[in-house]
Amino acid sequence: MIDVIVAGGGPTGLMLAGELRLHGLHVLVLEKETAPTSYVRALGLHARSIEVMDQRGLLERFLAVGQQHPVGGFFAAIPKPSPGGLDSAHAYVLGIPQTTTDRLLSEHASEVGVEIRRGAELVGLSQDDDGVTVQLADGVRLRARYLVGCDGGRSTVRGLLGVGFPGEPSSVETLLGEMEVGVPPETVAEVVAEIRKTHLRFGLGPLGDGVYRVLVPAEGVVEDRSVAPTIEDFAHQLRVYAGTDFGVHSPRWLSRFGDATRLAERYRVGRVLLAGDAAHIHPPTGGQGLNLGIQDAFNLGWKLAADINGWAPEGLLDSYHDERHPVAADVLNNTRAQMLLLSPEPGPRSVRQLLSELLDFEDVNRYLIEKITAIGVRYDFGAGHHLLGRHMRDVRLRRGRLYELMHAGRGLLLDQTGRLSVAGWAQRVDHVVDVSEELDVPAVLLRPDGHVAWVGDDQSDLLGQLPRWFGAPVA
């Protein structure tokens, strides 16, 4: 009996697998592709995902191969400076291609003991009270306590479960690829600058050695999305919009994406759960998709491990849907709005101009950037302190940094009073007595995902909250 089978070896599945292994579970990742993809769908990590990597001791790997960029101008590509006062020690975007993110997360998963099986396509599943039976295309049958579908927007797991995926189909498509051009860089820059005055879904970005990342609206919406575009398709559409095809040739890879927006009705059916694109799809505006999936995995991992290890309080695993479904709904809404603001039509352009003026107000700029970067997410834990339900940013302590103490994926009580206790929960919650000039509350209880579960200095009040997140005490 495997503890958890993860269907899909993309960033969501690999992040989840690594989280589960922190708690000693036997995890198998099934990936139907025989080799890693060369397509670069996503280009970076936002602040909350950077925090996630820091909380698990992975950030140095990403910083070594990524490039830090200002976080301003991400809402509908409206050029504005980074807002001040962002609630994160990582108030930047880390530019890093998804292929590199996949590699780093795969290396981490392998290091901690995750089994990754490539060329293994899931085609069937059934479940009972004790577990899930998975059937592969080659006839192999596997048994696990839980199955998590992280298998993308066309999720086989979601389809087999019969979970509804309501929303809107694509109304427009965009061609995306990497290829060489046959004209000087100055010519490319001049033409692109002129076209982007009216067509914001158009661009050619230099990658070095004459290779460009090319983005251009497609001619229409194809029926079969699995059919990749050709270099001739790119050349034709470039001529339509720019009057030149820039002499594009020698493509590295070519793809297309649409603006379909859909959200799974449920994230859990018995012992099967959904995460990442299997649970939600939306346009790539703002660069939120990969980040949303990584954060799904970060929320789910410790809860699923708690259930399997036998100490999860009632309702903990269901809180995954309760917390993450509204977050995805909000992302879908803001990407819908951004796509409208990218339209070259007069009405949306007028709204874009008005919003650009509003973004000159610091509070408006900060509010929208906090949406894009997910540091504004607050789970509903009930009434209480303004920190309750929010992520806790990394703060400096006398003996180091907060995030350095969270690598093991356990809960953490940061106690500036020295008078509190987690006796009975010491196997699940680390008690850190230290102080920080950046923290103006006596103590905070953090869940393993870094969200604030309690604030205060009263021991009896703390004892009322520990069972809610960490189960019954151990004598």
Which tens digits make up the pLDDT trace of 232-255? Answer: 999 999 999 999 999 999 999 999
- Higher pLDDT residue, 413 or 72? 413
Check residue 286 and report its DSSP letter.
Answer: T
262: number of Cβ within 10 Å = 17
Which helix H or strand E contains 214, and what residues bound it?
Answer: strand 211-217
Please give the full DSSP string across 25-75, using - where no structure is assigned: --EEEEESSSS--------EE-HHHHHHHHHTT-HHHHHHH-EEE--TT-S
- Higher pLDDT residue, 258 or 267? 267
pLDDT band of residue 222 (cuts 50, 70, 90) is: confident
pLDDT, tens digit, 9 for 90 and up, residues 270-326: 999 999 999 999 998 889 999 999 999 999 999 999 999 999 999 999 999 999 999
pLDDT, tens digit, 9 for 90 and up, residues 380-405: 999 999 999 999 999 999 999 999 99
pLDDT band of residue 227 (cuts 50, 70, 90) is: confident
Task: Assess contact for 93 and 45: CB atoms under 8 A.
Answer: yes
Question: Cα–Cα distance between 142 and 82 in angstroms, integer?
Answer: 49
pLDDT band of residue 429 (cuts 50, 70, 90) is: very high
- What is the mean pLDDT of the segment spanning 357-375? 96
Question: Cα–Cα distance between 149 and 146 in angstroms, integer?
Answer: 10
Would you say residue 86 has pLDDT above 90?
Answer: yes
- Residue 13 burial (CB < 10 Å; 0-12/13-18/19+)? buried
- What is the mean pLDDT of the segment spanning 118-130? 96
For 88, the 3-state DSSP assignment is coil
255: number of Cβ within 10 Å = 17
- Residue 103 burial (CB < 10 Å; 0-12/13-18/19+)? middle
Contacts of 351 (CB under 8 A, 6+ apart): 340, 341
Question: Cα–Cα distance between 436 and 404 in angstroms, integer?
Answer: 14
Question: Cα–Cα distance between 228 and 283 in angstroms, integer?
Answer: 18
- Higher pLDDT residue, 314 or 41? 314
CA atoms within 13 A on the CB side of 92: 11
What does the pLDDT read at residue 39?
Answer: 72
216: number of Cβ within 10 Å = 28
Would you say residue 453 has pLDDT above 80?
Answer: yes
- What is the mean pLDDT of the segment spanning 345-363? 95
Question: Cα–Cα distance between 267 and 212 in angstroms, integer?
Answer: 38
Which helix H or strand E contains 426, and what residues bound it?
Answer: none
What does the pLDDT read at residue 226?
Answer: 73
pLDDT band of residue 33 (cuts 50, 70, 90) is: very high
Question: Cα–Cα distance between 402 and 264 in angstroms, integer?
Answer: 35
- What is the mean pLDDT of the segment spanning 185-211? 92
Tokens of 119: 């060329």
Check residue 456 and report its DSSP letter.
Answer: -
Which helix H or strand E contains 147, and what residues bound it?
Answer: strand 141-149
What does the pLDDT read at residue 38?
Answer: 73
Task: Assess contact for 402 and 425: CB atoms under 8 A.
Answer: no
Which helix H or strand E contains 298, and what residues bound it?
Answer: helix 289-308
What does the pLDDT read at residue 220?
Answer: 87
Task: Assess contact for 227 and 221: CB atoms under 8 A.
Answer: no
If phi > 0 it is left, if psi is from -120 to 50 it is alpha, else beta; for residue 310 that is left
Would you say residue 35 has pLDDT above 90?
Answer: no
Q: Give the torsion sign (CA, 433, 435, 438, 441).
A: positive
Contacts of 50 (CB under 8 A, 6+ apart): 59, 62, 88, 90, 92, 94
For 179, the 3-state DSSP assignment is strand
| Widest CA span in the chain | 75
Would you say residue 225 has pLDDT above 80?
Answer: no
- What is the mean pLDDT of the segment spanning 57-66? 97
Question: Cα–Cα distance between 460 and 421 in angstroms, integer?
Answer: 10
Q: Shortest CA distance to 276 belongs to which of 36, 10, 88?
A: 10
Would you say residue 435 has pLDDT above 90?
Answer: yes
Mean pLDDT (the chain) is 95
Q: Shortest CA distance to 20 belongs to which of 252, 229, 302, 236?
A: 302
For 174, the 3-state DSSP assignment is strand
What does the pLDDT read at residue 37?
Answer: 78
Would you say residue 355 has pLDDT above 90?
Answer: yes
What does the pLDDT read at residue 104?
Answer: 97
For 114, the 3-state DSSP assignment is coil
